[in-house]
Every structure is written in structure tokens, then in C-alpha cells.
Amino acid sequence: DINGREHHLHIILTFRESLPGRHRVRRYRPLEACWTPCTDGYHRIFYRLEGESAEDGSVMTLRSFLDKDGHPIDVEDIND
């Protein structure tokens, strides 16, 4: 539906650790559940943002972390 696409935005951002094993440093501990191991030895975070505008002009925003298969990871307090 071409009209539906005009009102929906879907973005996936990928973050990769700078060196294998770097995802374990203290700085990244709050994101521990979000790191996904990949076949190249690096861990990545896949972050999905979705936005949709309604006819009344309001915008609904959804966000989630994804696993390697694109399924949402259950994360507590994703909005914090």
C-alpha cells in the first residue's frame, strides 16, 4: 500500500564493538542483554526505530533491540 508507506518509517541501526570482547567492559554492562554474537567474532547491537503518523497528526514511536534473527529482545525499561 503506497499510502501506508508514506506514514511509516522503519530504521535499524547496527552498532559493532571496536574489538572482539570489548562488549564486556564496564561501560557497556547496562547493554549486556542486547549484544548479539556474530559469525565474524564481533558482537553487535541491532536497534530498531519505528514511527508512524496518524491522520490527526500525532506520531507513534516504537523502539526495540533485535536478536540476530530480527526478533525483539525483551528488555526492561527500554525507555530509560
Q: What is the pLDDT of residues 7-65, one digit of tens each?
A: 889 999 999 999 999 999 999 998 999 999 999 999 999 999 999 998 888 999 999 99
What is the pTM assigned to this prediction?
Answer: 0.81
By DSSP bridging, strand 8-16 and strand 43-53 are antiparallel
Query: Domain segments of the chain: what residues?
Result: 2-66
Give the separation between CA 54 and CA 52, rounded to whole angstroms. Answer: 7
Q: Quick one: how far is CA 53 from the chain centroid? A: 20
